Amino acid sequence: MAVRNVTLEKTIRKLLDEKKFQTLRDILVTLEPADISAVFQEQDEERAPLLFRLLPKELAAETFAELEPEWQELLIRGFSDRELRDVVSELYVDDAADLIEEMPANVVKRVLAQADPQMRKEINEILRYPEDSAGSIMTTEYVSLRPTMTVKEAFQRIRQTGVDKETIYTCYVTDERRLLGTVSAKTLLLQTDDSTPVSEIMDENVISVHTLTDQETVAQMLSRYNFLALPVLDQDDRMVGIVTFDDAMDVLVEETTEDIEKMAGMLPSEKTYLRSSAWDLFVHRIPWLALLMISATFTGLIITGFESALAAQVVLTAFIPMLMDTGGNSGSQASVTIIRALSLGELEFSDAPKVIWKEIKTAVLCGVALSTLCFVKIMLVDRMMMGNTDISPLTAAVVCATMSVTVLIAKLVGCTLPMAAKRVGFDPAVMASPFITTIVDALSLLVYFGIASALLF
Amino acid sequence: MAVRNVTLEKTIRKLLDEKKFQTLRDILVTLEPADISAVFQEQDEERAPLLFRLLPKELAAETFAELEPEWQELLIRGFSDRELRDVVSELYVDDAADLIEEMPANVVKRVLAQADPQMRKEINEILRYPEDSAGSIMTTEYVSLRPTMTVKEAFQRIRQTGVDKETIYTCYVTDERRLLGTVSAKTLLLQTDDSTPVSEIMDENVISVHTLTDQETVAQMLSRYNFLALPVLDQDDRMVGIVTFDDAMDVLVEETTEDIEKMAGMLPSEKTYLRSSAWDLFVHRIPWLALLMISATFTGLIITGFESALAAQVVLTAFIPMLMDTGGNSGSQASVTIIRALSLGELEFSDAPKVIWKEIKTAVLCGVALSTLCFVKIMLVDRMMMGNTDISPLTAAVVCATMSVTVLIAKLVGCTLPMAAKRVGFDPAVMASPFITTIVDALSLLVYFGIASALLF
């Protein structure tokens, strides 16, 4: 997907230069809010308010919700109170709450002053919930029906209140805010008798989440059940809002990006790459780099400890990178697979024995294949082709034996650490390649020198 | 999210043992198809048909669509023709096409024999498209309206045809299968005058995809625009189907898992971890392990080339793992960030100069910080605490200079290779940690021995 449309950006810049506002407007109204916001953010900052004012009210609010926080702030600072009110009143409550969270205090004050009292109340309710909770990503705007309503009355209510709701396709049947059931617009539409009471056609098997449920769990539930929205209940089991599928999709993408960043030894960042400065990147990357560099002291100590042995058999040094890399790669294959399965909910801690046994079998297969290949390679390439006669078949055997043991250790460490992390409530994603590589490096060197001492010296 | 519900699995096993079928049925009908299928797959195989027969028709079909292919095959082999017809006729066309793709030939023949001629035609149409294309994941069941219909007539049509459609919430206005616009059920419901023609209220700015568009692109578009469905057009721009958001969510999750697997040096697998045998894991993991092991020959050769120098300064060997690991980690941080940004469409090849410049700045910051820290660590820990007087300040300086250069090389290789891969049409995800580590290892050793030769020997 070409998220950036360079041709369109150029056309719009040209039309702005030529002050062809009518043509510009005609083009903009045919676009989706996500595309308009992308194009806006490629223009010069001082032109943003001008461009924004060309949009009709509803499209303007939708586009506003898609903009990056710095652009939202820029626009708000240029808005009159009247313009701000127009935008705020058109925003969905969850988008308004997101906005409030991102803006500096003085902007927040202006925004809240322009929101109507009901909206202000709802925004404040959403803001009460911790970041990454269902409460913080829900919207309080949903269609609620009473169980005693008929299908006809339900449609009347949808018509009256639906225009401001984020979805009207799932309606929630409540009594004093207790959730009794759900009824879809499809079910309502397919009813032939419009005097049927809602209570007769509603689905009473409702799956709901709590305000404090983790947002990733909510997103995975929406994805698992193919729902358009999930109802959110408070601590007293009263319905307070819904999380819609589009927000869930965003959460899934964001959380996966975070996992990937952690797996590569970075602190997760909320900014996209192009919006991160070199300093941002540095701050997110240096902690793990430094920590892992320091912990490599152990591998250094191990080598120093065997220094005299190495001086006698310098040829052994040449195989250290290969052994370390193969160990690291084997370990990260296992850890990354397990981390992903854990985060998709395919694995539980109780599966650990099965996982460990499977990894042992895989490690044996990989170990045998790799050490056979390695032996052939050392004898053919290193000894015969390169003519390095320091390498005896016994040396090759030491390397290959180390290889097998290293692969086994790597796969075991790679699969157990993430599961153990999950068990004690840590984030398994941190137990990925860099971390495991460091551990496996030290262990594989110990094995290497251990086997070498026994056989060669 | 607890995808597996161990308590529920036990309860159901117990009820089955006690032959309490009525109770069992009462429990099953309250569950979602995704949960029922999960519970089924934890029971003994021979009980599957029995359990399945307890479900009411529609729920049975929905559950069937959620099952793993091996369980679907198991059930089909136990079905009478009549039972098979019931299930097949309730399936959505896209699920039926998925089924056909997974089953062996004799099962396919039976399934197609039980599908009605129209469905058979539609299944065959979907099967014509290449794997991973929009055509292969679309469904041909959507609500189409004519532009001349009134709102009232539109509702009549939805009522008549909607029950079999995967979504009725976006309706497609077509004329001889040419897509003229879309109209949402919300727009239709909120109309006060039901004699308004559809052509007046439809949205003519339709975003569509082609049958051959990559499924990942389709999924990202749905996520970007928050649509419930995207229309799919054939080569002659005639509408042939829709892709719905729930299938898009599945695609996003699958494609990300594939990317993660590739980034960790594995061939992507379609099976979940628990369903993969040790042999499956071996087959997916060994190619990259073997390839990377063989390519470590170069690092070995470099060390061998400097063997005599190393023999004189064995202390240099102790720092090889730290330098290699830091290089590998620095490179994978950059590559993984770039790969993710590319796959989310945040970066284009044209951004390459910006990216490279940003990585250079980040590398300088990281390099300065790491080498300072490294110098202090070597002098304090290795020289003073460990009493290793072989390590002179000059040795430490050689290590730290190598560190800075290595980090720079690693970040540059890490950011350019994925972008170059994207440019020439390869999958950037393959250019991740393992691959880059191998390249960076060789380069960093060359730098190390180069600097050491200049300053120490």
**B363-388 per-position pLDDT tens digit:** 999 999 999 999 999 998 888 887 77
Residue A418 pLDDT > 60, yes or no?
Answer: yes
Type of residue at B214: D
- Return mean pLDDT, chain A: 88
* Shortest Cα distance, chain A CAs vs residue B286, angstroms: 6
Residue B3 pLDDT > 70, yes or no?
Answer: no
Top-confidence residue, B64 or B165: B64
Q: Mean pLDDT, to the nearest integer, of A250-273?
A: 86
Cβ pair A1:B319 closer than 8 A: no
* Percent above pLDDT 70 for chain B: 98
Q: Mean pLDDT, to the nearest integer, of B114-143?
A: 87
**B235-289 per-position pLDDT tens digit:** 888 999 999 988 888 888 888 888 888 888 888 888 888 888 899 999 998 988 8
**B153-211 per-position pLDDT tens digit:** 999 999 888 877 878 899 999 998 899 999 999 999 888 888 999 999 999 988 999 99
Residue A111 pLDDT > 70, yes or no?
Answer: yes
Q: How far from the centroid of its chain's Cα atoms is residue B334's Cα? A: 21
Minimum-distance CB partner of A333 among B32, B155, B266: B266
Cβ pair B326:A296 closer than 8 A: yes
Top-confidence residue, A388 or A398: A398
Type of residue at A182: T
**In contact, B8 and B37? CB cutoff 8 Å:** no
Give, as one character, the DSSP assignment of residue A196: S
* Pairing relationship of beta strands B178-184 and B170-175 according to DSSP bridges: antiparallel
B243, β-bridge pairs: B230
Q: Is A294 on the interface with B (CB under 8 A)?
A: yes
Q: Is A424 on the interface with B (CB under 8 A)?
A: no
Give the model's pLDDT for residue B4.
55
| Main-chain dihedrals φ then ψ at residue A265, nearest 5 degrees | 70, 40
Q: Is B344 on the interface with A (CB under 8 A)?
A: yes
For residue A193, give both structure tokens: 């008798």
Q: Mean pLDDT, to the nearest integer, of B425-441?
A: 83
Minimum-distance CB partner of A377 among B297, B374, B381: B297
For residue B279, give both structure tokens: 């042999």
Domain B296-456 homologous superfamily, CATH: SLC41 divalent cation transporters, integral membrane domain (1.10.357.20)
Residue A38 pLDDT > 90, yes or no?
Answer: no
Instruction: Write down the CATH number for the domain with range A144-253.
Output: 3.10.580.10
Cβ pair A289:B225 closer than 8 A: no
For residue B25, give both structure tokens: 């049925």
Same fold, A144-253 and A296-455: no
Give the model's pLDDT for residue A4.
55
Residues of B in contact with A344 (CB under 8 A): 3, 253, 257
* Percent above pLDDT 70 for chain A: 98
3-state DSSP: chain A helix, strand, coil percent, rounded to 5? 70, 10, 25
Give the model's pLDDT for residue B223.
87
Q: Mean pLDDT, to the nearest integer, of A66-95?
A: 88
Minimum-distance CB partner of B245 among A245, A328, A388: A245
- The pLDDT confidence band at residue B1, using thresholds 50, 70 and 90, is very low
Residues of B in contact with A4 (CB under 8 A): 345, 348
Q: Is B290 on the interface with A (CB under 8 A)?
A: yes
- Return mean pLDDT, chain B: 88
Minimum-distance CB partner of B264 among A261, A303, A333: A333
Top-confidence residue, A313 or A149: A149
Residues of A in contact with B32 (CB under 8 A): 205, 207, 224-225
Query: Which chain A residue is nearest to residue B155, measuring alpha carbons?
Result: A189
Using a 10 angstrom Cβ sphere, with 0-12 exposed, 13-18 middle and 19 or more buried, the burial of residue B400 is: buried
Residue B354 pLDDT > 50, yes or no?
Answer: yes
Top-confidence residue, A262 or B432: A262
Give the model's pLDDT for residue B311.
75
Element (H, E) at A172: strand A170-175
Q: Mean pLDDT, to the nearest integer, of A301-322?
A: 83
**B306-352 per-position pLDDT tens digit:** 877 777 777 888 898 899 889 988 998 999 899 999 888 888 888 89
For residue A190, give both structure tokens: 């397919």
Q: What is this model's ipTM?
A: 0.81
Tell me yes or no: is domain B6-133 CATH 1.10.10.10.
Answer: no
Q: Mean pLDDT, to the nearest integer, of A75-86?
A: 88
CB atoms within 10 A of CB B145: 23
Sign of the dihedral through C-alpha B403, B409, B415, B418: negative
Give the model's pLDDT for residue B108.
87
Report domain extents, chain A. 6-128, 144-253, 296-455
Cβ pair B281:A358 closer than 8 A: yes
Question: Inter-axis angle of helices B320-343 and B393-423, to 10 degrees?
Answer: 20
Minimum-distance CB partner of A365 among B2, B217, B282: B282
Q: Is B10 on the interface with A (CB under 8 A)?
A: no
Element (H, E) at A94: helix A93-102
> Which stretch of A196-210, B99-113, B171-185 has the lowest confidence by average pLDDT?
B99-113
Residue A363 pLDDT > 90, yes or no?
Answer: yes
Distance (Å, rounded) from C-alpha B183 to C-alpha B155?
12
* Pairing relationship of beta strands B170-175 and B144-145 according to DSSP bridges: parallel
Residues of A in contact with B266 (CB under 8 A): 333, 336-337
Q: Specify the residue for token string 């539980």.
A: A348
Q: Which residues are CB-contacts of B57 (< 8 A; sequence separation ≥ 6)? A: B86, B90
Best-predicted range by mean pLDDT (B110-114, B240-244, B432-436): B240-244
Residue A2 pLDDT > 70, yes or no?
Answer: no
**A123-176 per-position pLDDT tens digit:** 888 888 888 899 988 888 899 999 999 999 999 999 888 877 878 899 999 998
Cβ pair B278:A365 closer than 8 A: yes
Give me the CATH topology for the region A296-455.
Tetracycline Repressor; domain 2 (1.10.357)
Distance (Å, rounded) from C-alpha A58 to C-alpha A239?
28
The phi-psi region of residue A387 (left if phi > 0; otherwise alpha if psi is between -120 and 50; otherwise beta) is left
Give the model's pLDDT for residue A235.
87
- The pLDDT confidence band at residue A419, using thresholds 50, 70 and 90, is very high
* Shortest Cα distance, chain A CAs vs residue B265, angstroms: 7
Residue B120 pLDDT > 80, yes or no?
Answer: yes
> Which stretch of A351-365, B53-67, B170-184 has the lowest confidence by average pLDDT?
B53-67
Distance (Å, rounded) from C-alpha A113 to C-alpha A103?
14
Residue A1 pLDDT > 70, yes or no?
Answer: no
Question: What's the CATH number of domain A6-128, 1.25.60.10, 3.40.50.1820, 3.30.2180.10, 1.20.120.1200?
Answer: 1.25.60.10
A178, β-bridge pairs: A175, A238
